[in-house]
Copies of this chain bind each other. A is one copy, B any other.
Amino acid sequence: MRSSEEFDWSETHLRVRYAETDQGGVVYHSNFLIWFEVGRVELCRDHGFAYRDMEQQADAFLPVTAVRVRYRSPAIYDDEVTIRTRVTSIRSRAITFAYQALRKCDGTLLAEGETDHVVRNREGRARSFPTEYSGRLRQKISP
- Supposing A74-B63, A77-B52 touch, asked if A22 and B18 sit within 8 A by C-beta, the answer is yes
Task: Determine whether the beta carbon of B71 is less than 8 Å from that of A66.
Answer: yes
Q: How far is the CB of A100 from chain B (nearest CB, A)?
A: 15
Residues on B with C-beta less than 8 A from A77 are 23, 52
- Supposing A29-B64, A70-B65 touch, asked if A34 and B17 sit within 8 A by C-beta, the answer is yes
Task: Determine whether the beta carbon of B38 is less than 8 Å from that of A17.
Answer: yes
| A53 nearest in chain B by CB position | B78
Q: List the number of copies, as a whole number.
A: 4
- Please list the residues of chain A having a beta carbon within 8 angstroms of any beta carbon in chain B: 15, 17-19, 21-26, 28-31, 33-34, 37-38, 41, 50-52, 61, 63-71, 74, 77-78, 124
Could you tell me the distance between the alpha carbons of A61 and B74 in the complex, rounded to whole angstroms?
A: 13
Task: Determine whether the beta carbon of B78 is less than 8 Å from that of A41.
Answer: yes
| A51 nearest in chain B by CB position | B78
- Supposing A34-B17, A37-B18 touch, asked if A67 and B29 sit within 8 A by C-beta, the answer is yes
Q: List 10 A-B contacts (CB under 8 A).
A: A15-B38, A18-B22, A18-B41, A22-B23, A29-B64, A30-B30, A50-B78, A51-B78, A52-B77, A66-B70
